């Protein structure tokens, strides 16, 4: 491994450097400027946009930097744009929410940017150390964000639960990593793949794989490692929940794909079985538990667990098509999930918490536009044809069938049907219940922008998905650079 | 006279890891659970250093430095969260952390 850093390393790190500088600038602006709230939001969105431009400028590259610690490739760029967009939408929906909660925006935006920074390193890390540092940068920011409403008991409780289980899962993950280091003698994913090629599976390797799988299972909230998710999603501030369910999940999947496909293709038969079981249980438990919920944030938490199950189908398929469909689905999921949470943020008013199902009743008669947007998000989450959710699921299931996992696809389709029940129930409340609660609901400009982006994404990629699919395909081809294609395509 | 080899350190690390996991699962005090988690992280550190010695490779020791740094950051944040929780609820027993269930 060549030692030392060169100027090129810093050049290719420009997106991350811009994000860090912007995050620090937010803290300064928060203290120095008058009218600080709008200045803080402006600087935050500007930073995200600037970083996004820098990411797009490097999108066509396929290279490794910093002595083989980070990759600048299409796969990383694809995910980085996703993280930046979801952070942007989250900040937009936070504007009115923070005002109602009476929370200062400076530190909040700083932490959102730090979490985004961590995610970007998770997507581009190709060494166990960088992946772990990225994961923790994200996780520690989220621990604080979850408990951001200090006077709220629910927020405190969510933060304690998230922190304890997050730190515990980190311990499992790290022990798994240390075992992989012991077996292979290197921390670089390419080195691990090389050392494991052709070796027999030993007990130690199985143990390492199980610990690693459990640690990642916590992060993507797969059953049976999902216990924290409903409580944390319910207790955290609504925009944080949104970012947690989209950004954190997408980053964890990026990291999982990197580790499994770049580091452990030699153990594919083993982790396919492991994640097959995880996917089937996750989908089923998530959907069945969601049916009984009366709190929408909690319901969306279980729905997000179920979606982790659908996404794991793509991991099990482990083909080019599987990886591509995961990437497509995460984009689609970004729009529909953030959109639904933007509606919930809008419902938060001085006199209404706005996260119970009954708070949505009669929404159509008070704010028809918001109700129609929510209808689109629910249909998309359920996977009804003209929406993006359908295309995403279609590709995931077809990837499973292509790789020969017919039963997994069947379980996925059955679960998709079950999920319709609780998504449609939200629609029933908005249209058929007439009683209305609390003060008037206003769509503030920031929320309106977030909703327009989310609705546009949910519909556009349902009608014309080819753009997204092409992008994902060319990005996922770069992931396989160090993986022999023959290994990738075997069922 | 028994010679202490890296394997012995790995066994010590495995024992510490098990103690930590069991501590997380059976103890009810948030602080003690947190200490058990620190035990797990230190088990990882011992394992990495032992393996690094065995493999004669520096990456393991670099990894340890990062794990220590992250564990410190996590302790700072975690204790802050626990104090915020304690101010509202006056308890650190996880059986009483139950506003949200199912």
Residues B88, A163: C-beta atoms closer than 8 Å: no
Model confidence at A479, in pLDDT bands (50, 70, 90)?
A: low
Q: Is A488 at the interface with chain B, CB within 8 A?
A: no
Q: Is B28 at the interface with chain A, CB within 8 A?
A: no
Integer Cα distance of A469 and A463 in angstroms:
12
Residues B66, A133: C-beta atoms closer than 8 Å: yes
What does the pLDDT average to over B65-73? 95
Least CB–CB distance from A160: residue in B55, B85, B101: B85
Which ipTM was obtained for this model?
0.95
CB pairs under 8 A between A and B: 127
Q: Is A483 at the interface with chain B, CB within 8 A?
A: no
| pTM (predicted TM-score) | 0.94
- Per-residue pLDDT at A174: 96
Closest CA to A375 of A422, A430, A335: A430
Domains and CATH numbers, chain B: 6-91 (1.10.287.3510)
Q: Is A333 at the interface with chain B, CB within 8 A?
A: no
The percentage of chain A sitting over the pLDDT mark of 70, rounded to a whole number, equals: 96
Structure tokens at A18: 């811009």
What does the pLDDT average to over A164-173? 95
Closest CA to A301 of A239, A229, A355, A247: A229
Residue A488 clears pLDDT 70, i.e. is over it? no
Measured between CA atoms, the residue of chain B closest to residue A147 is B81
Integer Cα distance of A106 and A29 in angstroms:
8
Integer Cα distance of A474 and A309 in angstroms:
25
Q: Which residues of B fall within a CB distance of 8 Å from A140?
A: 70, 73-74, 77
Cis before B91 (ω within 30): no
Residue B79 clears pLDDT 70, i.e. is over it? yes
Q: Which residues of A fall within a CB distance of 8 Å from B59?
A: 129, 181, 186-187
For the stretch A414-441, what's the b/e string if a residue is b when 16 or more beta carbons lie within 10 angstroms of its beta carbon? ebbebbbebbebbbebbbebeeeeeeeb
* pLDDT digit string, tens, across residues A309-357: 999 999 998 888 889 999 999 999 999 999 999 999 998 888 888 888 8
Residues near B98 by beta carbon (within 8 Å), at least 6 away in sequence: none
Residue position matching structure tokens 């409403």: A149
Residues B51, A175: C-beta atoms closer than 8 Å: no
Least CB–CB distance from B43: residue in A129, A175, A187: A175
Residues A143, B78: C-beta atoms closer than 8 Å: yes
Least CB–CB distance from B20: residue in A133, A171, A292: A171
* pLDDT digit string, tens, across residues A219-272: 999 988 998 999 999 999 999 999 999 999 999 999 999 999 988 988 888 899
Cβ atoms of A334 and A82 closer than 8 Å: yes
Q: Which residues of B fall within a CB distance of 8 Å from A147?
A: 81, 84-85
Q: Is A160 at the interface with chain B, CB within 8 A?
A: yes
Separation in Å, CA A71 to CA A122, A128, A257: 10, 13, 14
Residues A230, B41: C-beta atoms closer than 8 Å: no
Residues A174, B66: C-beta atoms closer than 8 Å: no
Q: Is A170 at the interface with chain B, CB within 8 A?
A: yes
* A443/A109: higher pLDDT: A109
Residue A361 clears pLDDT 60, i.e. is over it? yes
Residue A414 clears pLDDT 50, i.e. is over it? yes
- Per-residue pLDDT at A43: 94
Residue A72, H or E segment: strand A70-72
Least CB–CB distance from A156: residue in B60, B88, B102: B88
- Strands A70-72, A63-65: parallel, antiparallel or unpaired by DSSP? antiparallel
What does the pLDDT average to over A281-288? 94
* Site from A111, A153, A156 to mutate, B interface, most B CB atoms within 10 angstroms: A156
DSSP A174-237: HHHHHHHHHHHS--BHHHHHHHHTTPPP-HHHHHHHHHHHHHHHHHHT-TTS-THHHHHHHHS-
A99 min Cα distance to partner chain B (Å): 22
- Whole-number average pLDDT of chain A: 90
Cβ atoms of A317 and A395 closer than 8 Å: no
What does the pLDDT average to over A425-437? 85
Least CB–CB distance from B40: residue in A151, A175, A235: A175
Model confidence at A49, in pLDDT bands (50, 70, 90)?
A: very high
Q: Is A151 at the interface with chain B, CB within 8 A?
A: yes
Residue A482 clears pLDDT 60, i.e. is over it? no
Closest CA to A174 of B74, B27, B31, B80: B74
Separation in Å, CA A95 to CA A66, A88, B58: 37, 11, 47
- Per-residue pLDDT at A168: 95
Residue A147 clears pLDDT 90, i.e. is over it? yes
* Site from A175, A184, A207, A236 to mutate, B interface, most B CB atoms within 10 angstroms: A175
Model confidence at A4, in pLDDT bands (50, 70, 90)?
A: low
For the stretch A103-135, what's the b/e string if a residue is b when 16 or more beta carbons lie within 10 angstroms of its beta carbon? bebbbbbbbbbbbbbbbbbbbbbbbbbbbbbbb
Integer Cα distance of A18 and A170 in angstroms:
28
Cβ atoms of A362 and A430 closer than 8 Å: yes
Q: Is B9 at the interface with chain A, CB within 8 A?
A: no
Residue B100 clears pLDDT 60, i.e. is over it? yes
Integer Cα distance of A201 and A187 in angstroms:
19
Integer Cα distance of A116 and A129 in angstroms:
18
What does the pLDDT average to over A122-140? 94
Q: Which residues of B fall within a CB distance of 8 Å from A289?
A: 102
The percentage of chain A sitting over the pLDDT mark of 90, rounded to a whole number, equals: 67
Least confident of A76-90, A349-363, B53-67: A349-363
Q: Which residues of A fall within a CB distance of 8 Å from B94?
A: 164
Q: How many CB atoms neighbour CB A84 within 10 A?
A: 27
């Amino acid at each position: 491994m060549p030692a030392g850093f060169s100027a090129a390393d810093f050049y290719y790190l420009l997106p991350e450097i811009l994000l860090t500088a912007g995050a620090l600038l937010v803290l300064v602006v928060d203290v120095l400027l008058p009218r600080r709230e709008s200045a803080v939001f402006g600087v935050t969105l500007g930073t995200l946009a600037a970083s996004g431009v820098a990411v797009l400028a490097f999108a066509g590259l396929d290279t490794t930097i910093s002595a083989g610690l980070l990759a600048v490739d299409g796969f990383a760029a694809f995910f980085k744009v996703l993280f930046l967009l979801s952070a942007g939408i989250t900040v937009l929906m936070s504007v009115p929410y923070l005002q109602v909660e009476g929370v200062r925006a400076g530190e909040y935006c700083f932490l959102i940017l730090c979490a985004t920074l961590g995610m970007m390193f998770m997507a581009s890390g190709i060494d166990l150390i960088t992946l772990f540092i990225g994961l923790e940068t994200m996780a520690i920011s989220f621990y604080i964000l979850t408990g951001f409403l200090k006077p709220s008991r629910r927020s405190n409780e969510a933060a304690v639960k998230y922190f304890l289980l997050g730190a515990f899962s980190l311990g499992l993950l790290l022990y798994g990593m240390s075992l992989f280091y012991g077996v292979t003698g290197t921390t670089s994913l390419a080195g691990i793949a090389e050392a494991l090629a052709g070796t027999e599976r030993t007990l130690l390797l199985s143990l390492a794989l199980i610990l690693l799988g459990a640690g990642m299972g916590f992060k993507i909230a797969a059953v049976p490692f999902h216990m924290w998710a409903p409580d944390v999603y319910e207790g955290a501030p609504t925009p944080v929940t949104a970012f947690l369910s989209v950004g954190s999940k997408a980053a964890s999947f990026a990291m999982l794909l990197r580790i499994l496909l770049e580091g452990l293709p030699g153990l594919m038969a083993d982790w396919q079985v492991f994640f097959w079981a995880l996917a089937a249980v996750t989908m089923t438990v998530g959907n069945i538990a969601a049916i009984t919920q009366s709190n929408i944030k909690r319901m969306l938490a279980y729905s997000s667990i179920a979606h982790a199950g659908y996404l794991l189908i793509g991991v099990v398929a482990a083909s080019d098509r599987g990886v591509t469909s995961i990437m497509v689905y995460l984009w689609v999921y970004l729009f529909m999930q953030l959109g639904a949470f933007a509606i919930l943020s809008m419902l938060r008013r001085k006199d209404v918490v706005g996260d119970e199902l009954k708070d949505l009743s009669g929404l159509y008669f008070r704010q028809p536009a918001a109700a129609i947007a929510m209808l689109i998000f629910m249909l998309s989450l359920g996977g009804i044809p003209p929406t993006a959710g359908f295309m995403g699921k279609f590709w995931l299931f077809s990837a499973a069938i292509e790789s020969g996992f017919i039963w997994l696809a069947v379980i996925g389709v059955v679960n998709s049907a079950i999920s319709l029940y609780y998504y449609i129930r939200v629609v029933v409340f908005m249209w058929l219940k007439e009683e209305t609660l609390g003060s008037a609901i206003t769509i503030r400009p920031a929320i309106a922008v977030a909703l327009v982006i989310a609705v546009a994404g949910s519909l556009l990629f349902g009608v014309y998905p080819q753009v997204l699919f092409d992008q994902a395909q060319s990005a996922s081809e770069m992931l396989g650079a160090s993986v022999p294609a023959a290994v990738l395509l075997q069922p | 006279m028994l010679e202490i080899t890296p394997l012995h350190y790995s066994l010590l690390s495995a024992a510490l890891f098990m103690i930590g996991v069991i501590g997380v699962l059976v103890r009810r005090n948030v602080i003690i659970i947190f200490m058990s988690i620190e035990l797990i992280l230190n088990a990882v550190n011992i394992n990495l250093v032992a393996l690094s010695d065995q493999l004669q490779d520096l990456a393991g020791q670099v990894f340890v430095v990062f794990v220590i740094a992250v564990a410190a950051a996590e302790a700072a944040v975690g204790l802050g969260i626990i104090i915020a929780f304690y101010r509202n609820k006056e308890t650190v027993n996880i059986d009483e952390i139950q506003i949200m269930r199912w």
